[in-house]
Structure 1
């Protein structure tokens, strides 16, 4: 390509860029207009369940938490846990789980009482406390854990049903995994329909289920106290409460079971999902009348009741039943078949039916406990996914944010959670699923505790929880405890959970969602920034640490793309620029916001390290003097003035030229360097195009649109005026009689302006490179 053709292509590209940058301002101006209400930018829509039913602390927190905690482990695994770990270590397992849950509940209560709560559950709490990155990551993990927990409890229901059918010599297909898959899929579908019908139907179902569970627990306690009534019960391992039996079952007896040898922490992993219902109230916080009061009160009471229930039932199982039993009536050595006995705590998951006063009621209680927990899980996940979609954190979840009906039901979310739950239901093995979700729940609890610690430690101005019974270091201890338990249970699963969490975190970090919720991480960044600025200001300056910190007189957003480009090149590595816009008239709030939003969009799109400053009701000279003295903070202040070359100085008034000169002189007076950017006239846009972009073409202003590369002044009967270029030549100024002599004299007329090498005038046709010209005086 010949040089002329290359230059033409460069000119076309440069003009296209000017139109693109200027278009940002025009687009924002067109969208906003003059309505100040349009300037209220809120990237996060409201998450409350609009028009929904509002629940109190009993119906909205206490009962859902109890239903979630009284799950599959209560009737199907607590006796097996006692057989493996013994009464002593079962109490330790329940105690450690209780400590984790109590600390998490205290942390959760502190977060819940810090401001107004909306829908979204744990995701809303964490994201508004630690930011969108951590909140979205833990929200996805928590939603996944709840969906899998729904399948785990459904499997427990199916196992109990299979045992009942087996005892009646009945079967569907194989009285095993295939029956579990068929019945479980139907049960999940029905529960999703119940949840989708609405909160009122789900609440009525919960009341019915909690009544059955409480009756079944009472039935079991009564039967254990009364003792065995038949020889068959004795032969199958139920010998009645006694101190001797409690002593025999006091210590652990870990065994190989279902393809795995169990120890303390593997048994803990099986049990821990039983107490993961403390967040049930927070999951539907958008449906509560007063979540700040209801969540702490209801959750703590539910936790106390449920832990007491597990301790009582574990103690009764260990003190009233054998670990191994043959099932042979009148067998003198009923446990001689050990370790291959068909009955006993180790071998029969249905031993609670044997110990109960009326066994059919235990079946009803088991089904109510498992289905109620699954129902609570299925109810919370779609709302969490809906909140993530409304916040537009992950693009793939926006589809699930649509609301249906007067209560804003997330029907699409129900379809998603049904598919996920059914996929894990196909495993049909409760002991295999339980450890999987334990790590996810522990990770969620660890983040909740860390949220409270982080907020309480950095103390942002927005951190004012009404709940006072929490401690900063106790929350940190809960965070460390959760991580330690994760690693001890299964370091492989812990690393996998961590990898998934980091991946989700980095994905949000890469997308940079436009969300600002006043989180504690923002407060931490603010405090660290202020501390860094103070430290820099207190240090002695050194030439090696010099950075060009620019004050750019670019005027109205979009009117001087060349100045912004030059400033961006100078500051793109480790520095910044303050972009000034001086307006002599008074602007309305809408006009000021319009300019600010347009400038911020330009900086974001072009990745400029820039800050926009707008001064109104100042003359240009007064505004520049104010900026030179007051712009910046401490050492983080401009040290270079970047302005456009006044190409139309040959036709400007004498006062305008004096103002331009005083501006440069004042920069030297306050110890700043000056950089003047010149772009030849053939690179500048015509006036008509500038007007179309919304730029201001006030050709009589100084330091504004007539002095840089984007304005054109046409003389009578000729093309664009060819303004002079100032270049540092190291020679004395040429003496010449021309219209430019007056301007050159002005530029060199004051003795206060000390420049080592004078400025020489060079005509446009003498410039070796027609693209750019620049003069820097220090």
Structure 2
């Protein structure tokens, strides 16, 4: 993948979902000045948030996945709580994409006077459920040609967008999809004339501000360019579409003949079929593809949360399948929740919680970047005041859109943050009081859990094989190696042995002391020492040679047994066993 793939992945839903589905009617209902302001604010928020996200991935380019990137950038409490909020954002966004695709399908049905159940909301729920199952199937199946499929659908989206803009300019066809009837809706639709409703329907066009945080480490160095270009290009498209739709609106109202029904104008009806039906097909494919992407991101975040939190139920969801570590259980659970959310009704209803959740998430993220910027002004993130202003504006916009949902999301974040903070402090208190045996048990349990984590999703931790001989006679070398691992990763002290480690816990660094007095040593001793260094390079592991002036680390000469120096390994082994027994008895 390159930055162009990131550009396509970000810009496609931004163009297809709103521009072809709702935007013309939004301009007609709101007017050019208001819609232009909303477009400016929407994409300014997404651009600044994307800029901040670029800063995160550029500083932590070795991390892979949303949660691990946030954990590397922030404290665990904020990272986990924010990931929960963002996961819900993605889940609702998946329902929005599926529902938008279902509306496009029903537009095709209505063109040919087809009805499944009632031609309204029940049909929408049925079609949305079918598209949800298709989305789930596509998430479970990996295709080597998925990149070409995405590029093909993006090309169709560009053609549909060009036709939409050109038809607005030259008025040779309508190219506008109609809303589904609201009969039998579970929740009444919000008033169309309110500015908050218009803003909610527009904001899903700019939901890719945090997308690059989900991208793997191999692409994080080039992804920011693609994401920022996608946001800027979409802003230009929407501004141009607003201007052209506004001009076309006045031209259409001045035409007398526009009120005739399609039944009296067969040529126009045929043109309507030829123009809007292909567009509806393109919108459906783009919506399903966008839903596949967001559902995958959501399942990976849930799987990462399960592996981090170590809860019994969530840990059950953390299991992956096949070599690609597919989170099948997470996909099944999230797809079920997504189908239930899609059953609410229409895009006009689902866009409101989507907008409020994303605004709140953007507010949290920009505020945290603002705090980081205060502590480290050299970070190449957005200006401090700009991050703070965008954070405040997003918070106010979420409250203005729906204050009850905003308070509900704030409660979710606050409860998660406080709970994690309490558990973290409790764990630290218990760790301070626990005995060495319980510490050993917890470390051993974590070592076994690490074996179940796939290679592509693990952090790099130094795992040192320290050739210290007996640790008793080289305490300085052992202490220095321990200062590197600090009890958080593997440290093996021992002689040269052909294999070492527990499962996946294989040493990736060879550490030994500098050979002092080598010029006085025998050729065999020097050759063996040089062979150890060569073997480290051949095995492609890290190599550390530590030296402390000329004394070395071997303190065997200072060890006494009954007042006499120790001269052989047998006396040294007996001395070590006696010391260990003495320590055990004292404990």
What's the TM-score, normalizing by structure 1? 0.51
Aligned partner of 2:401 in structure 1 is 489
Give the C-alpha shift of residue 217 in structure 1.
0.7
Give the C-alpha shift of residue 259 in structure 1.
5.1
Give the C-alpha shift of residue 262 in structure 1.
3.5
Aligned partner of 2:538 in structure 1 is none
Give the C-alpha shift of residue 584 in structure 1.
11
Q: Deviations over 1:448-491 (max 9, x none)?
A: 212322222112xxx976xx363233222222221121122222
Aligned partner of 2:340 in structure 1 is 423
Aligned partner of 1:58 in structure 2 is 4
Aligned partner of 1:263 in structure 2 is 194
- Give the 3 Å change call, closer, same or farther, for CA 326–557 of structure 1 in structure 2: same
- Give the 3 Å change call, closer, same or farther, for CA 171–324 of structure 1 in structure 2: farther
Asked if residue 211 in structure 1 is aligned to residue 155 in structure 2, the reply is yes
Give the C-alpha shift of residue 179 in structure 1.
1.6
Whole-Å separation in 2 of the counterparts to 1:322 and 1:80: 13
Secondary structure (helix, strand or coil) at the match of 2:344 reads coil
Q: Deviations over 1:322-376 (max 9, x none)?
A: 699899x847xx59xxxxxx99xxxxxxx9x989983333223322332232222
Which of the numbers 437, 446, 455 marks the counterpart of 2:354?
A: 437
- Give the 3 Å change call, closer, same or farther, for CA 394–309 of structure 1 in structure 2: farther
Alignment of 1:240-279 (within 5 A): 258=189, 260=191, 262-279=193-210
Whole-Å separation in 1 of the counterparts to 2:100 and 2:391: 30
Asked if residue 67 in structure 1 is aligned to residue 29 in structure 2, the reply is no
Quick check: which has more Rg, 1 or 2? 1
Aligned partner of 1:290 in structure 2 is 219
Aligned partner of 1:511 in structure 2 is 423
Aligned partner of 1:675 in structure 2 is none
Whole-Å separation in 2 of the counterparts to 1:131 and 1:515: 15
Report how many aligned residue pairs link the two structures. Answer: 441
- Give the 3 Å change call, closer, same or farther, for CA 401–374 of structure 1 in structure 2: same
Q: Deviations over 1:49-86 (max 9, x none)?
A: xxxxxx22112x11110123224212121122212221
Whole-Å separation in 2 of the counterparts to 1:76 and 1:307: 16
Whole-Å separation in 2 of the counterparts to 1:111 and 1:464: 13
Aligned partner of 2:232 in structure 1 is 304
The structure with more helix, counted as a fraction of residues = 2
Secondary structure (helix, strand or coil) at the match of 1:198 reads coil
- Give the 3 Å change call, closer, same or farther, for CA 259–470 of structure 1 in structure 2: closer
Aligned partner of 1:384 in structure 2 is 301
Whole-Å separation in 2 of the counterparts to 1:438 and 1:403: 31
Secondary structure (helix, strand or coil) at the match of 1:289 reads coil
Q: Contact (CA 8 Å) 1:224, 1:357: kept in 2 or not?
A: no
Whole-Å separation in 1 of the counterparts to 2:23 and 2:70: 32
Asked if residue 163 in structure 1 is aligned to residue 111 in structure 2, the reply is no
- Give the 3 Å change call, closer, same or farther, for CA 514–280 of structure 1 in structure 2: farther
Which of the numbers 176, 196, 199 marks the counterpart of 2:120?
A: 176
Q: Deviations over 1:407-447 (max 9, x none)?
A: 22222221122112101011122111111121211122122
Aligned partner of 1:152 in structure 2 is 96
Whole-Å separation in 1 of the counterparts to 2:40 and 2:87: 26
Secondary structure (helix, strand or coil) at the match of 2:31 reads helix
Aligned partner of 1:589 in structure 2 is 478
Q: Contact (CA 8 Å) 2:60, 2:73: kept in 1 or not?
A: no
Q: Contact (CA 8 Å) 1:449, 1:475: kept in 2 or not?
A: yes
Aligned partner of 1:716 in structure 2 is none
Secondary structure (helix, strand or coil) at the match of 1:427 reads coil
Whole-Å separation in 2 of the counterparts to 1:394 and 1:211: 44
- Give the 3 Å change call, closer, same or farther, for CA 134–318 of structure 1 in structure 2: same
Which of the numbers 365, 369, 375 marks the counterpart of 1:452?
A: 369
Asked if residue 78 in structure 1 is aligned to residue 9 in structure 2, the reply is no
What's the TM-score, normalizing by structure 2? 0.67
Q: Deviations over 1:122-170 (max 9, x none)?
A: x333332221111111111111111111111211111121122112111
Asked if residue 499 in structure 1 is aligned to residue 386 in structure 2, the reply is no
- Give the 3 Å change call, closer, same or farther, for CA 228–457 of structure 1 in structure 2: same
Asked if residue 142 in structure 1 is aligned to residue 86 in structure 2, the reply is yes
- Give the 3 Å change call, closer, same or farther, for CA 265–356 of structure 1 in structure 2: farther
- Give the 3 Å change call, closer, same or farther, for CA 354–394 of structure 1 in structure 2: farther
Whole-Å separation in 2 of the counterparts to 1:207 and 1:513: 49
- Give the 3 Å change call, closer, same or farther, for CA 82–500 of structure 1 in structure 2: same
Whole-Å separation in 2 of the counterparts to 1:496 and 1:427: 18
- Give the 3 Å change call, closer, same or farther, for CA 695–77 of structure 1 in structure 2: farther
Aligned partner of 1:529 in structure 2 is none
Secondary structure (helix, strand or coil) at the match of 2:198 reads helix
Q: Contact (CA 8 Å) 1:110, 1:452: kept in 2 or not?
A: no
Alignment of 1:567-646 (within 5 A): 587=475, 589=478
Which of the numbers 229, 232, 246 marks the counterpart of 1:318?
A: 246
- Give the 3 Å change call, closer, same or farther, for CA 215–413 of structure 1 in structure 2: same
Give the C-alpha shift of residue 515 in structure 1.
11
- Give the 3 Å change call, closer, same or farther, for CA 185–116 of structure 1 in structure 2: same
Give the C-alpha shift of residue 694 in structure 1.
7.7
Q: Contact (CA 8 Å) 1:71, 1:372: kept in 2 or not?
A: no
Q: Contact (CA 8 Å) 1:68, 1:280: kept in 2 or not?
A: no
Whole-Å separation in 2 of the counterparts to 1:589 and 1:515: 28
Q: Deviations over 1:269-300 (max 9, x none)?
A: 221122112333332x22x53303x2220111
Aligned partner of 2:386 in structure 1 is 474
Give the C-alpha shift of residue 200 in structure 1.
3.4
Give the C-alpha shift of residue 94 in structure 1.
0.4
Unaligned runs of 5+ in 1: 1-54, 238-256, 336-341, 344-350, 517-553, 559-582, 599-690, 699-704, 711-778
Q: Contact (CA 8 Å) 1:70, 1:369: kept in 2 or not?
A: no
Secondary structure (helix, strand or coil) at the match of 1:270 reads helix
Q: Contact (CA 8 Å) 2:53, 2:212: kept in 1 or not?
A: no
